[in-house]
Structure 1
Amino acid sequence: MGRPDHPGTAAPSDGTADDTADDGLDGAVAREATGVPAGPPDATPALPVGRGRAQRHPHGARRVTVPSSLGPLAALRAEPDAAAAIEGRPATALLLPGYSGSKEDFAPLIDAVAAGGIGVLALDLPGQYESPGPAAESEYQPDRLGPVIAGIVADEVAAGRRVLLLGHSFGGLVARAAVLAGAAVRGLTLMDSGPGELPMGQRRTNLDVLEPILRRRGIEDVIALRDASGEWSSKDPQVVALLRERLRRSTVTGLLGMGDALRAEPDRTAELVAAVRARRVPCLIVCGIDDDAWPVSMQRTMADRLEAEFAAVPHAAHAPNVENPTALLDVLVPTWRTWLRDDLLG
């Protein structure tokens, strides 16, 4: 597998403030893109992106429930545009959100990915938002959640679909664990996710500060702190309402367990290298060019180790899916379509 780079210079964001799909409960301000220009057949299809919509961005996916070994998971499913599909078995992009996130974090991507001939299945991870989760904090470690996702991949494959797995931030650690657990994916994308634990920095500090508040006083005090900080004051009221609701409905046990995992996950890149080489699974590492979680240089080094493609999305930090979906789509859709064509070539 070669490692060509994407230049990461697609259409910039318009600077509209919005909320990121955050992994440190710090609500970093994001910017929404305005649209995707027309392009050649393998370019991202035209996408009318509304201003400041983020997780409330309109899409054509339907709400579904996906069975898993830990119980039903809430999801959004969109069918691919058959006219744009690559020859062969249909494909589904299975999308995993980050810590404190949800399936709605992928709302700005859904219609464009489906228009590119690839179906979408965006999940709440166990314990997130509308999905129940286990009672023990230890069950939220990536190596415990990975086999759960591997089971969902197996169900998709059994239904005749090729699976392109994407994990954002904490979801990237889970996606990696799913591949290490044997998930039969056609490609792996790690977005704004690192080789191991979250490095020292503001996001890790936020986890350290908020952990005792969450454990002793509960989620309402965390929400009150965010309200008092004013970090939500400039955002669309409908987006703020969703962010409050999903924090309130996510399990405290899950937030604590995932938070612990983000501060303790070992570097498993060597294991992943062996797995993807043995099974010839292509990989993409993509991140916002200003990612403030795992340094971009660290993610670039991880891509080198994996012999993976690498792309840095302009005008984006830790959540290009809501900060600059236009530029992110210009990386994802052509890359995924290439992987599906290569699959036909053997």
Structure 2
Amino acid sequence: MSRPHTFTPPPCARAHRLRTTRGEFAVLDVVPPGVTHGTALLLPGYMGSKEDFVTLLEPLGAAGYRIVAVDGRGQYETGGTDREEIYAQYELARDVLAQASALRAGEEGGDGDGGAVHLVGHSLGGQIARAAVLLDASPFRSLTLMSSGPAQVTEAQQVKVKLLADALATMTMADVWEALRAFDPPDEMVPNGEALRRRWLCHRPAQLIATGRQLATEPDRVAELAATALPVHVLSGERDDTWPVPLLDEMARRLGAHRTRIEGAEHSPNTDRPERTASALASFWDGLRTAAHP
């Protein structure tokens, strides 16, 4: 679970609901004060939310990019149902395409890439983002896979996901939260403990069960992604217990992707080292813009 250092968005961010052909999605939206160089759509990971990107919003906005961080279907402040089938990866990927379409329809001027969206997915969000690109790459200018690997998570993580799914099938969300806390540091050492609990209680159990199953069974689709020719950025910390860093290095090589390791970060560089992560994202996007408009 990502642990954002704050759940409070900066003053430049607007919380609202993005209307799409697939329904409404809760977002945090930052529009730069000057010329907009492009728009980025940020997808959170398993058990995460748009708040995982809060500390990236201000520096990325200052770099000239509109940033929209979203709660996916059944995550935190975006509604869902108790039917697991609506959280199939194909359905979540279609949600992302609808979000990108809504953002492109609202583009106004700027010196970006004709409204094409830079897509960023953290962990599970990266695999959903990849699925969206494989359905239709045309709405996107680039894809950043942040701490998101080529296929299923490690065996140890598969065991954890299975245990959680079993618990969710028989226990309330509140009871599962208390059980999860047994593995945490003492309350006084966990920042935003109450906010994390509130976020957990708002997640749909069916979403966690369905997406957890996806993490444990995801096939290797790297060759398919490479065939799209979309510019890809593989970004991670220098340590990762969900997908080993050498595996991410190899995935980047197979994709011919830009590769960034964030020093001092682990599975969530967006919260571990937000300034360095924001700088790496903006640098990648700037490079694409410079190449397109030398």
Would you call these one fold, judging by a TM-score over 0.5? yes
Distance 1:216 1:69 in 2: 34
Give, as a single letter, the amino acid of the residue that structure 1 aligns with 2:290.
Answer: R
Q: Name whichever of 218-227 and 241-250 sits farther off.
A: 218-227
Closer/same/farther in 2, CA of residues 78 and 57 from structure 1, 3 Å limit: closer
Aligned with residue 204 of structure 2, among 230, 235, 251: 251
Contact kept? 1:124, 1:131, Cα under 8 Å: yes
Going from structure 1 to structure 2, the CA distance change for 1:92 and 1:148 (only over 3 Å counts) comes to same
Greater relative contact order structure (CA < 8 Å, 6+ sep): 1
Deviation at 1:143, TM superposition (A): 2.4
The residue matched to 1:186 in structure 2 has which SS? strand
The answer on 1:185 being equivalent to 2:140 is yes
Whether the 8 Å contact between 1:81 and 1:118 is mirrored in structure 2 is no
Which residue number corresponds to residue 110 of structure 2? none
Work out which of the residue numbers 142, 146, 151 in structure 2 matches 1:196: 151
The 8 Å contact of residues 186 and 340 in structure 1, kept in 2 or not, is answered as: no
* Contact 1:188/1:282, CA 8 A, preserved across alignment: yes
| 2:19 is equivalent to residue 67 of structure 1 | yes
Matched, 1:214 2:168: yes
In the TM superposition, what are the counterparts of 1:222-261 in structure 2 within 5 Å? 222-231=176-185, 233-235=187-189, 239-261=192-214
Q: How does 1:44-193 map to 2 (within 5 A)?
A: 53-56=5-8, 58-82=10-34, 85-86=36-37, 91-160=38-107, 161-183=115-137, 184-193=139-148
Aligned: 1:324 with 2:273? yes
What whole-Å deviation, never above 9, does each CA across 1:147-189 have from its counterpart, x for those lacking one?
A: 2101211222233333110000000001101111114111110
- Cα 1:205–1:56 change in 2 (3 A) is farther
Question: Which structure 1 segments of 5+ residues have no match?
Answer: 1-19, 23-51
CA contact (8 A) 1:73 1:131 kept: yes
Which residue does 1:299 correspond to in 2? 248
Check conservation: 1:220, 1:248, Cα contact below 8 A.
Answer: yes
Q: Distance in 1 between matches of 2:14 and 2:282?
A: 21
Asked if the contact 1:137/1:254 (under 8 Å) is kept, the reply is yes
What is the identity, as a one-letter code, of the residue corresponding to 1:227?
R
Q: Does the alignment pair 1:333 with 2:282?
A: yes
Displacement after TM superposition at 1:141 (Å): 2.8
Alignment check: 8 A CA contact 1:92 1:164 kept = yes
Aligned residues: 286
Distance 1:54 1:320 in 2: 15
1:316, distance to aligned residue in structure 2 (A): 0.9
TM-aligned CA distance change 1:134 to 1:70, over 3 Å: farther
Distance 1:253 1:173, change over 3 A: same
Residues 322 and 54 of structure 1: CA distance in aligned 2, closer, same or farther (over 3 Å) = farther
Contact 2:46–2:123 under 8 Å retained in 1: yes
Q: Deviations over 1:102-155 (max 9, x none)?
A: 000000100000000001100001000010124421332322211210121122
Q: What is the deviation of 1:313? A: 0.8
2:148 touches 2:243 (CA, 8 Å); kept in 1?
A: yes
Amino acid at match of 2:54: A
Q: Residue 111 of structure 2 corresponds to which residue in structure 1? A: none
The aligned amino acid for 2:197 is R
Q: Sort the Cα spacing of 1:288 and 1:59 in 2 relative to 1 into closer, same or farther, 3 A.
A: farther
Identical counterparts, % of pairs: 34
**Equivalent residue for 1:290?**
239
Cα pair 2:154 2:241 within 8 Å, conserved: no
Cα distance in 1 for residues equivalent to 2:179 and 2:136? 41
Task: Work out whether residues 81 and 116 of structure 1, in 8 Å CA contact, stay in contact via their aligned partners in 2.
Answer: no
Deviation at 1:227, TM superposition (A): 2.7
Amino acid across the alignment from 1:326: E
Asked if 1:262 is matched to 2:215, the reply is yes
Measure, in 2, the Cα distance between the counterparts of 1:327 and 1:54: 17
SS in 1 for 2:209: helix
4+ residue runs over 6 A deviation? none
Structure 2: stretches of 5+ with no match in the other structure: 108-114
